[in-house]
Structure 1
Amino acid sequence: MSSLLAWLPWLVVYLLCLYLLDLLAHRRRHLPPGPIPLPLIGSVHLIGDQPHRSLARLARTYGPLMSLRLGAVTTVVASSPDAAREILQKHDAVLSARFVGDVVGDHARYSVASLPIGPRWRSLRKIMSTELFAPHRLDALQGLRSDKVRELAAHIARLSRDGTAVDVGRVAFATSLNLLSCTIFSRDLTSLDDHGGSKEFQVLVGEIMDECGACPNVSDFFPVLAWADLQGLRRRLARLLARMHLLFNAEVDRRLRGREAGEPRKEHDDFLDVLLDVAARDGAKADLDRDTLRALFTDLFLAGSDSSSSVVEWAMTELLRNPTSMVKIHEELTQVIGSTRSMKESDIDLLPYLQAVVKETFRLHPPGPLMLPQQAQATVRVAGYIVPQGARVMVNLWAIGRDESIWPEPDKFMPERFLGKTMDFRGADFELVPFGAGRRICPGLPLAIKVVHLVLATLLNEFEWRLPLEVERTGIDMGEKFGVTLTKAVSLCAIATPI
């Protein structure tokens, strides 16, 4: 014990020297401004369990482009449209490499979201843009999506007759999953009803999202420790993904057996048929081996279901908190669609207030408040500062959406701010880029836009909504749960009455 105490002063001196050297290196490298890091942990202690909010507060002190040392890693954060444009457009070629969290493990070797920019990534992105998410392909499958929203309306009508409140997030999540599964496999993989077996896939997706969004992961802050997986996140996610892959393997095997047996094709090919056709046509050039197919389906379900349902739940929450906006959107839906028919995807362009509600929801509650981090492939000068090779780079979409220099009354829900304006979320207007921009923009954006508008309009066109009496007295809990997707900490439950 005495020998250990004798070494303690030297350890303190050693840590102090490291600390001073780190400060000198920070100034010499001319990094963006940021908080003074502590020895070893850097600024990890400043992040907390709501990093989008913590980083927004820090940006008010250190500016729209700031740097932090998080553990052993230099991280650069953009918190304004101009800084985001520098990263996602001007220096996109250098800063578009993806940082892959340790939790993802082997999945990153096959996932389009994680692959480095290169021939394989370009090949898969081309397949997604020209074969999967092309307008003609999505239009051909809109009948399947219409069936799913009709089932959603029927389910809510049953709950209404029983006098049961609707868990808006849960039904939106189940519907989003089935919208995706019908588009990909032409069949449901979950159910709106509370039957144990039918909910297995829905529960599995939720568990995977929880593991992916676990924060903080020590392995990401201290890469030298990643081999140990100290929190067990990588091992747990690998087991969950293995269960999901078994299900996807079964779907692919079933379709291949049907083809070999000469079963007739459906009127419109789903995504699985399209991908199998491309693989058969182009062979190895298509880069569509079984591992890649599984990774692609995994990405589609994880990115598409939770984010779409989260936007729908937040939009319904804001509308219930803002009766004037609820009245306006009901008036528009009544005028354009009426109560005699169901919502169609072709109606979206005729509903400017609905579109404004969705944009305002994306601004206030972006599904991914911090864009998936990217990594500098080389040292580059951004906005006059040096971003060193290997630094992680993030864009704080939540901070941009709450910036009072851009948005008057930024904390207020006002869809009217988008009426009569051309601002959109397809990657050109950096004030609103919930799907990202540049090379790494979300390839599923065309489908996600259809799903969000279709589900939200169906909920609002066919039902009047009110809060349970207890919630009316206490107010809606607006707490957030940070993860891969920014969801409500307490689910929104509301009472629906058919119109």
Structure 2
Amino acid sequence: MANLLLAIPIAILAVLVSNKLIQRLRFKFPPGPRPWPVVGNLYDIKPVRFRCFAEWARSYGPIISVWFGPTLNVIVSTADLAKEVLKENDQQLAGRFRTRAAARFSRDGKDLIWADYGPHYVKVRKLCTLELFTPKRLEAMRPIREDEVMAMVESIYKDCVSSSEENLGKTLVVRKYLEAVAFNNITRLVFGKRFMNNEGEVNEQGQEFKGIVSNGIKLGASLTIAEYIPWLRLFAPLDEEAIAKHGARRDRLTKIIMDERTEARKSGGAKQHFVDALLTLQEKYDLSEDTIIGLLWDMITAGMDTTAISVEWAMAELIRNPRVQQKAQEELDRVIGFDRVMNETDFSSLPYLQCVAKEALRLHPPTPLMLPHQANTNVKLGGYDIPKGSIVHVNVWAVARDPTVWKDPLEFRPERFHEEDVDMKGHDYRLLPFGAGRRVCPGAQLGINLVTSMLGHLLHHFSWTPPEGMKPEDIDLTESPGMVTYMKNPVQAVATPRLPSHLNKRAAINA
């Protein structure tokens, strides 16, 4: 019996090795680091993957093979190759690789983010483009965004100025304020609810919401190498019970809110937040309840972290570069002045502020490897063979720092976008913070508006300097590992008010 148990994994290993050898004889794969038997390159990959892949690209070339167990992962690191992936071979590479947890959370791709490319994806994508993220709807929701950004300003002002002089010059953890505005903004846009009051206290439903978000991140982060080596799943099974409990908890809260909004619409008191829009359009687009819930949580996961991350990186760069901060403030003072606050209608008159936001997203894209594409047929990239089922990543972090297409690519210099207009919504493959092609982020304009608004208010209302005893260049720009890229050490700074006190307060909330 013992011999039989030993023979089974040996036989499986032999089949895998022989299949890999056959593949290598049949296909011309991109170069890359030499893989180990069974595990491939999994143990060679450094925690901050996009930096690791960029380092390997310098050794092996702009398109490389990296083996996650028996699965070929192809990473491209130039704008030309990104164009091949996202435009010339877009349909063939529009599939989506899902981990076991992502498959469970998305009900096997019933949402948009994790859906396979096909009729369901096309239908839901059309819904997002024609109904949810239209200029008219984004404009209708502008008061929510502006209210929450002003709530952030008011909170910072209260913390950095008080009747006690000893609080002047207090060091603030910037992330605290950015996460609060991102949290309140996304819950109001998606659910039409504000879970947090003016003092930062979260109500009972909000605590449940936060718990669901935190637990989802925890479950997703607990995955092992068995995700990439299928036969190891016999020894590392997915915690189905925990996944099921998490899904039920998420669905229960979402259905309660959906029922509340349905009742509000019946009484004529509902506004067109995303949940209202989806429920109104359910019949027209033949949407299942699973799809509605999946779309709502797609918006939450895509919009909550990435906005706060992007603005924190931008603030870190502005504190490190006082010249840029001062130039942006001079533009704000000239256009807005000192007797009113900025709003989104001012963006067109603030070109340098827009360049600051764009430069921050160039240097620090919130999802530096994008989400993984999967080949749904054999395809050629850069002259190499990419077999069906392979996973393809675009290292947008490396693309945006390529010295062959960017002058002084590591310098934070927003002026580069005055010198050349570069689109960042998927039409110029040198700058891809929101992706491109069939799987480009449908909420790109919403993200750009919120990042620009938050930066504009932070710079107009306050001057930002490093904590006492720290030089601007000492601000740490180290990244944390993960699919989205937080700063490893949250940026800390001293905020000094620039505007009259009455302009640092907001009007009453109108959810």
* TM-score using structure 2 length: 0.87
Of residues 78, 81, 90, the one that matches 1:80 is: 78
2:370 matched residue in structure 1:
371
Q: What residue identity is the alignment partner of 2:119? A: P
**Deviation of 1:256 (Å):** 1.8
CA distance in 1, matches of 2:375, 2:427: 22
1:115-194 counterparts in 2 under 5 A?
A: 115-162=115-162, 163=167, 164-191=170-197, 193-194=199-200
Q: Superposed, which structure 2 residues align to 1:353-364 within 5 Å?
A: 353-364=352-363
- The answer for the alignment partner of 2:231 in structure 1 is 224
Deviation string, structure 1 residues 346-385 (Cα, Å, up to 9, x no partner): 1122211111111111111110011111111111122211
> How many angstroms does 1:30 deviate by?
0.6
How much identity, in percent, do the aligned residues show? Answer: 34
Q: Is the 8 A contact 2:466 2:472 kept in 1?
A: no
Task: Tell me the amino acid that sits aligned with residue 70 of structure 1.
Answer: F
What SS class does the counterpart of residue 317 from structure 1 fall into?
Answer: helix
8 Å contact from structure 2 (residues 426, 434) kept in 1: yes
- The answer to whether structure 1 residue 46 and structure 2 residue 35 are counterparts is no
Contact 1:279 1:288 in 2 (8 A): yes
**Residue in 2 that maps onto 1:195:** 201
TM-score for both structures, normalised by structure 1? 0.89
Unaligned runs of 5+ in 1: none
Distance in 2 (CA, whole Å) between partners of 1:17 and 1:302 is 39
User: Aligned partners of 1:22 and 1:127: how far apart in 2?
Assistant: 41
Q: How far 1:486 sits from its partner (Å)?
A: 0.4
Q: Could you list the per-position Cα deviations for residues 375-425 of structure 1 after superposition, in whole angstroms to 9, with x for gaps in the alignment? A: 111111222111001111111111112222222222221111111322111
What is the CA distance between 1:495 and its match in structure 2?
2.1
Task: Return 427-436 or 411-420, whichever deviates more.
Answer: 411-420
Alignment: residue pair count: 484
Partner AA of 1:208 in structure 2: G
Q: Corresponding residue for 1:429?
A: 428
Contact 2:195 2:203 in 1 (8 A): no
Of 246, 269, 272 in structure 1, the residue corresponding to residue 272 of structure 2 is 269
Structural mapping, 1:45-444, within 5 Å: 45-108=43-106, 109=108, 110-162=110-162, 163=167, 164-191=170-197, 193-195=199-201, 197=203, 200=207, 201-202=209-210, 204-209=212-217, 211-212=219-220, 214=221, 217-226=224-233, 229-230=236-237, 232=239, 236=242, 239-259=245-265, 262-266=266-270, 268-280=271-283, 282=284, 286-444=285-443
**Structural RMSD (CA):** 2.7
* 1:255 to partner: Cα distance: 1.5
CA–CA distance in structure 2, aligned partners of residues 305 and 192 of structure 1: 19
Letter in 1 for 2:297: T
Residue 236 to residue 448, structure 1, CA distance change in 2 (3 Å): farther
Greater fraction helix: 1
Q: Distance in 1 between matches of 2:261 and 2:468?
A: 50
Deviations 1:418-464 (A, max 9, x none): 11322111101111011111000011112111111111111111111
SS in 1 for 2:464: strand
**Any conservation in 1 of the 2:195–2:202 contact (CA below 8 Å)?**
no
Distance 2:103 2:421 in 1: 41
Q: Determine the C-alpha separation between the residues in 1 that align with 2:218 and 2:423.
A: 30
Deviation, 1:288, is: 2.3
Distance in 2 (alpha carbons) for counterparts of 1:424 and 1:324: 25
* C-alpha separation in 1, matches of 2:15 and 2:275: 58
| Residues 181-237 of structure 1: CA deviation (Å, up to 9, x unaligned) | 22223221335745364763346434534543x3873133113334665575x7655
SS at structure 1 position matched to 2:91? helix
SS in 2 for 1:481: coil
Q: Which amino acid aligns with 2:263?
A: R
Deviation at 1:26, TM superposition (A): 2.3
Partners of 2:365 and 2:255 in 1: CA distance: 33
Alignment partners' CA distance in 1, 2:25 and 2:327: 54
Paired with 1:21 and 1:172, the residues of 2 have a C-alpha distance of 50
- Sort the Cα spacing of 1:121 and 1:287 in 2 relative to 1 into closer, same or farther, 3 A: farther
Q: In 1, distance between residues paired with 2:448 and 2:472?
A: 34
Cα shift at 1:78: 0.8
Contact kept? 1:209, 1:483, Cα under 8 Å = no
Conserved? CA contact 2:31–2:64, under 8 Å: yes
